[in-house]
A and B are shown apart, each in its own frame.
Chain A
Amino acid sequence: MSVQVSLAGPDVTLGMSGEDAGDIVARSPTALFWRRFREDRVAVASLIFIVVLVIIAVAAPLVVKLFGLPGPYVQNLNLTNAFGEPLGPSAAHPFGVDGLGEDIASRVIYGSRVSLEVGVIGTGIATVIGVIVGLLAGFYRGWVDTVLSRLTDLVLCFPTLLFGIGLASACALNGCFYGLIQPGVPVIIAIVVIFGWTYIARIVRGLVLSLREKEFVEAARSLGASDARIMFREILPNLAAPVIVYASLLIPVNILFEAALSFLGVGVQPPTASWGQMIAQATPIFNIAWWWMVFPGAALLLTVLAFNLLGDGLQDALNPKAD
């Protein structure tokens, strides 16, 4: 039996010839990640769902046209009965219509835009802020850590939903901060950012506190690396996995937060389609117009579930030892 070794690069392949030959392949961390991720069919299905959702959201006008649906803001009161109540699913309107005769399938499709905007953009900005705050607090410790940690605790004390309702109401007509934050989706993103960075900051701070004591940090320091280089070139790459996992779990939380604000009437304003707002409008007539609540509710459920399962899958793939 002979052993063939190729040392050409990262993809090191060790092969064994002979009757008992089998390939033992050493892979890069990325390759390992994908292999473990691919094995998790639930996570893959969730990822596919999210990718399709993003495509639908981005190409919403095209999707609506492709299915032959009317636009989300096209009112048609001929599709309501004599009491102003909407008619149910039909061939022309597979998800039925709402109280203004607007097509619900179309509005569910457009509603994905709001959910993804708030979920992804809000989480993205909150993540950046949280990572920076956590990094600075954990690395410098001392008074920097004290100030930033107390600030984090202070923001955590705020009743998020109540404050969100108040801020959204106050900014509803003319926006806030001299028009810097406009009513509608920008206000909700601002609320998500203001309150969303704290959890990531805490997690990152804890990780940085332990990473800063590692030998590679000491080695970098002894080679004369600046604090900024150590933080962003040495420590930050090691935070990527947990931050990505946490951010992916934060997205559905923020999607639900937007739905809750819209349900309470302080989120996205009509006629902009929002799943939470559609559920709120359907509530008084839930017993006779079930479609108005069920379809946006299903979309919300499946989206939140997909992100949660994706986050779970990412955690397993990035950190299998956690099992």
Chain B
Amino acid sequence: MNTSIRRRALATVLVLFAAAAALFAYASSHSTTVANGAGLAPAQTGSGENLYNGKRGGTLTVYDSEDFEHLDPGEAYFALDYEIMYATQMPLYEYLPNNSTTVSPMLASGQPIVTDGGKTVTVHIKDDVHFSPPVNRLVTSADVAYAIERGANPNVANPYFIPYFGDIVGAAKATGGPIAGIVTPNATTIVFHLTQPTAILLEGALSLPITMPVPESFAGPLDKDKPTQYGTSSEVFTGPYMLESTAAGKFLGLGYQPGKSATLVRNPNWNPKSDPAPAYLDRININIGGASQVIGLQVLKGSDSVQNDTPTNANVELAYTKYYKQLYAVPGAGDHYVSLDNAKGVFSNVNIRRAAYAALDRAAMVKVAGGTIVGEVATHFITPGSAGFTQSGGLAGPKYPWNEYPDGNLTVAEKYMKAAGYPSGKYTGSQSVKIVGSDNGNSPEEAAIVKDALTELGFNVKLVLVDQSVMYAKYCGVPAAEVDACPEVGWIRDFADPQTILYVPFWGPAITPTNNSNWGQVNNPQINAAMVAASQVVNPTAAADAWAKVDDMLVDQAVAIPWIFDDQPNIESANVRGINDLWDVGEWDYGYTSLDNP
């Protein structure tokens, strides 16, 4: 290249870069009014909101960077899927948006009746609920029975059928056909017979999507496909809204285009007298895809829209400082913790686990996650809003030395390292510690804090960051991968029963070779026995106490390191009167949301 041409090219590139950098810096000049370390007043939580003073009409636009996993009530087990399910279907029971502890009858006409020492549960259903076209007819108890029974069909494979419905007589061996323990003596009555007195658990489970009625005449042929086509291409609905469908009930390509959009329209057969939801909106358009940062800015500065994902920290701050009324931080949105491999490696030693617990700066992890607006430092595993939370010590948690210092305490940590057989207080062994974290959002920083804490204790730490789905599917959820710690595993309760928070993640027999949710491979015989005993307590108050005791045992054994009780931040446009479901990690409830100027 000719020298003078090269010089001109270089000068041009450098000038362009300097100009771009200056423009960048100017455009993004940002001064936060929130000083470092200043205490923040809480954001709105959504609780106490008036659910019934909205205006009818209008179209809401929902921006969702993630797609749904399942739209079949028999398969859905994901917070985003629940948003569609509970707007378009009627389960037996449901939590009202501003109540995360007590269910209200939805398809059921009253509370469940428990008899036979907790081994029989009877539910009566309403006689004025219809399916959407093309089925149109009245919903009967047989439709609810079929909905639950199909959960055992391998083509449906409901993920919580065995944990929550497995005690129904005949359910353990069911494969999709009739289950002996589910009886429908008439069109409006359904009776569950249990092998054990676990009625409390079943009652809670009756709020899950699997209880949303499914007509066998319509779904049966679709359920013969693997996977079922019910909820994949076609479906009928009982709620105020439905996925826009053809006359034959097919929504794929019309009301749902995978990866692109979904559209909810009014269900012509919905009976407003049998559903407490006011259903103000005429239509909900869901746009799938896009960058969260950009979506957030669009929603805050635009109109008629909400963001369905967790906003970035930057947008949470922007909303808090400039659009306060458009931000909610919904409590009880689950928790996150650092799983520690209890079965193998360095963390199989309880004192080393206690040392790691004491050393970790949990407050720093909450700060990088977004600060006190998005959560509080966790001190045990039962989350706020669930029975047993207060009995577990509330926000302060159980009183153990390793649990007393949210900012981390190296002195206490070293004390437990000494108890583990390392007189210097630091690890001097040859094993390295493998940590696998997520590379999404703030997770890399959270993982770096965990690594820092373990390094201070003398461990040689190998940290790998991968996509969140890979983190679970290939590493943390696979015992054979021998990962010592996963800093960002989390759990959301299935319903307001502490068993749904503690059982699957910490019960020994729940360990599976793949898709394992007991990430730490916790298999403590005393804890296992305590859980089984707690699951059979019939009295709700006594059950909460029993599960609180299990929670205490988990912290005592430092099976994992809880670090945040999540609050879910949500943002909406200025003219949207959004209602969050406090029981479902704050997801938008389309049955109650409205627009100020439809």
Q: Does A15 reach chain B (CB closer than 8 Å)?
A: no
Contact A290-B25, Cβ < 8 Å, known A87-B36, A100-B448, A270-B448:
yes
Say yes or no for B247: interface residue by CB 8 A criterion.
no
A285 neighbours in B (Cβ, 8 Å): 293, 312-314
Most buried by B among A77, A286, A293: A77
The answer on a CB contact under 8 Å between A287 and B27 is yes
Contact with B along A81-100 (1 / 0, CB 8 A): 11111010000000000011
Q: Complex Cα distance A36/B40, Å?
A: 65
Which chain A residues lie closer than 8 Å to B466 at the CB level? 169, 172, 265
By CB atoms of chain A within 10 A, which of B35, B38, B448 has the most?
B448
Cα A294 to Cα B27 with chains together (Å): 13
Q: How far is the CA of A40 from the CA of B444 in the complex (A)?
A: 45
Shortest beta-carbon distance, A135 to chain B, in Å? 28
The yes or no answer to A78 lying at the interface (CB within 8 A) is yes
Cα–Cα, bound, A41→B3 (Å): 9
Q: Does B442 contact A (CB under 8 A)?
A: yes
| Distance between Cα atoms of A271 and B364 in the complex (Å) | 16
A164 to B434: give the CA distance in the assembly, Å: 22
Residue from the list A80, A172, A288 in contact with B30, Cβ < 8 A? A288
The minimal Cβ–Cβ distance linking A285 to chain B, given in whole angstroms, is 5
Does chain B have a CB within 8 A of A312? yes
Neighbour of A40 across the interface among B3, B369, B463, CB < 8 A: B3
Q: Which of B28, B317, B449 contacts A286 (CB 8 A)?
A: B28
In the assembled complex, which residues on chain A have CB atoms less than 8 Å from the CB atom of B445?
A: 84, 99-100
Residues of B within 8 A of A85 (CB): 32, 313-314, 317
**Which A121-165 residues sit within 8 Å CB-CB of chain B?**
none
How many residues of chain A get a CB closer than 8 Å to chain B's CBs? 43
| Contact B34 A284, beta carbon cutoff 8 Å | no
Is B451 at the interface (CB under 8 A from chain A)? yes
A290 to chain B, nearest CB (A): 5
Closest to A74 in B: B452
* B449 lies within 8 A of A100 (CB): yes
| B20 to A, closest residue via Cβ | A294
Contact residue among B314, B320, B368, B451 (Cβ-Cβ distance under 8 Å from A284): B314
Answer yes or no: A55 CB below 8 A from chain B CBs: no
Question: Cα distance A79–B372 when bound, in Å?
Answer: 16
Question: B442 touching A84 by the CB < 8 A rule?
Answer: yes
Q: How many residues of B contact A (CB 8 A)?
A: 60
B434 adjacent to A173 (CB under 8 Å) = yes
CB distance from B493 to the nearest CB of A (A): 26
CB pair A305–B1 under 8 Å, yes or no, is no
Proximity bits, B436-473, A CB within 8 Å = 1, else 0 = 10010110110111011000000000111111001000
**B475 cross-chain contacts in A, Cβ below 8 A:** 173
B519 to chain A, nearest CB (A): 16
Given the complex, which residues of B lie within 8 Å of A40, measured CB to CB? 3
> Nearest Cβ in chain A — how far from B569, in angstroms?
10
B6 lies within 8 A of chain A by Cβ: yes
B444 x A281 contact (CB < 8 A): yes
Which residues 18-49 of B sit at the A interface, judged by CB distance below 8 A? 21, 24-25, 27-28, 30, 32, 34-40
B444 & A84 in contact (Cβ 8 Å cutoff): no
**In the bound complex, CA of A78 to CA of B371 (Å):** 12
Residues of chain B within 8 A of A41, CB atoms compared: 3, 7
Contacts A78-B37, A84-B313, A284-B293 given; indicate if A42 touches B464 (C-beta within 8 A): no
From residue B259, how far is it (CB to closest CB) to chain A in Å? 20
Q: Is B419 an interface residue (CB 8 A)?
A: no
Does B522 belong to the interface (CB within 8 Å)?
no
Q: A284-B292, A298-B21 are in contact. Are A270 and B3 (CB under 8 A)?
A: no
Taking a contact as CB atoms under 8 Å apart, the answer to whether A80 and B467 are in contact is no
Q: How far apart sit A269 and B463, CA to CA, in the bound complex (Å)?
A: 7
* A172 near B2: Cβ-Cβ < 8 Å: no
Interface string of A29-47 (1 = CB under 8 A from B): 0000000000011100000
- Are A312 and B6 neighbours in the complex by a CB distance under 8 Å? yes
Do A287 and B36 have beta carbons less than 8 Å apart?
Answer: no
Shortest distance between the CB of B592 and any CB in chain A (Å) = 29
What's the Cα separation between A289 and B467 when bound, in Å? Answer: 24
B34 A312 Cβ-Cβ under 8 A: no
- Decide if B27 touches A84 in the complex (CB within 8 Å): no
Q: Does A23 contact B (CB under 8 A)?
A: no
Docked CA distance A93–B56 (Å): 54
Contact across chains for B463 and A270 when beta carbons are under 8 A apart: yes
**What is the CB-to-nearest-CB distance from A270 to chain B, in angstroms, rounded to a whole number?**
5
Tell me if A75 counts as interface (CB < 8 A to partner B).
Answer: yes
Question: How far apart sit A301 and B13, CA to CA, in the bound complex (Å)?
Answer: 10
Fill in one digit per residue for A53-93: 1 if any B CB lies within 8 Å of its CB, else 0. 00000000000000000000101011111111101000000
Asked whether A183 is an interface residue with its Cβ less than 8 Å from the other chain, the reply is yes
B480 within 8 A of A: no
Question: What residues of chain B lie closer than 8 Å to A75, measured between beta carbons?
Answer: 364, 448-449, 452
A188 CB to nearest B CB, Å: 14
Can you list 30 A-B pairs with a CB-CB distance of less than 8 A? Answer: A42-B6, A42-B7, A75-B449, A77-B364, A80-B36, A80-B367, A82-B39, A82-B371, A84-B367, A84-B368, A87-B36, A100-B445, A169-B466, A172-B466, A173-B434, A269-B464, A270-B465, A271-B448, A284-B312, A285-B312, A285-B313, A285-B314, A286-B24, A286-B28, A287-B27, A288-B28, A288-B30, A290-B24, A290-B28, A305-B13
Binding site for A on B (CB under 8 A): 1-3, 6-7, 10, 13, 17, 21, 24-25, 27-28, 30, 32, 34-40, 292-293, 312-314, 316-317, 320, 364, 367-373, 434, 436, 439, 441-442, 444-445, 447-449, 451-452, 462-467, 470, 475, 481, 483
Q: A-B pairs with the 9 shortest C-beta distances?
A: A265-B439, A83-B317, A288-B30, A172-B464, A285-B314, A84-B368, A290-B28, A287-B28, A83-B371
- Hey, which bits of chain A sit against chain B, CB under 8 A? 40-42, 73, 75, 77-85, 87, 99-100, 169, 172-173, 183, 265, 269-271, 281, 284-291, 293-294, 298, 301, 305, 309, 312, 316, 323
* 10 new A-B contacts at CB < 8 Å, known A83-B320, A316-B3: A78-B36, A80-B368, A81-B34, A81-B35, A83-B313, A83-B316, A84-B369, A87-B36, A100-B448, A290-B21
